[in-house]
């Protein structure tokens, strides 16, 4: 019987500590204003622009590798391509789903025209 009381005390103490760290767990988390502002500006770009930047960085990298003596710089420029592609994927997800799970349904109706035009 003493073990169950001890276990109950431990769980009560643990839940109190969790509530002190997370003050109001019923409140929905939201993105910051800076994140929302950046996403609003980048959502204006068509998704194909990120693909163009990736292909452009690969072309510049190939040109630097062939015609320049600085192979390390060519590799550096070539490594930009995956970053541009990842930014394009993130941009597409934000356009389709919203910046966070709570604003997705609100932003989806607002960004529908921009999404349909960029596809």
Q: Contact, 100 vs 29, CB < 8 A?
A: yes
pLDDT at 18: 67
Q: Mind listing the pLDDT tens digit for each residue in 57-72?
A: 999 999 999 998 889 9
pLDDT at 28: 58
Distance CA 6, CA 12 (A): 10
Q: Domain spans of the chain?
A: 28-118
pLDDT at 74: 94
pLDDT at 67: 92
List the chain residues with pLDDT less than 70.
1-5, 14, 17-31, 99-119
pLDDT at 63: 94
Q: Contact, 111 vs 104, CB < 8 A?
A: no
pLDDT at 20: 62
Please tell me whether residue 80 adopts helix, strand or coil conformation: helix
Q: What are phi and psi of 13, to 5 degrees?
A: -65, -40
């Amino acid at each position: 019987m003493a073990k169950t009381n001890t276990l109950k005390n431990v769980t009560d103490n643990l839940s109190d500590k969790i509530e002190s760290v997370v003050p109001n767990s019923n409140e929905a988390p939201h993105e910051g204003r800076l994140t929302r502002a950046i996403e609003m500006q980048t959502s204006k770009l068509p998704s194909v622009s990120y693909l163009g930047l990736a292909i452009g960085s690969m072309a510049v990298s190939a040109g630097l590798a062939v015609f320049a003596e600085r192979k390390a710089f060519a590799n550096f420029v070539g490594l930009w391509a995956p970053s541009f592609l990842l930014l394009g994927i993130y941009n597409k997800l934000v356009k389709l789903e919203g910046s966070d799970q709570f604003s997705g349904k609100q932003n989806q109706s607002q960004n529908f025209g921009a999404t349909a035009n960029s596809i």
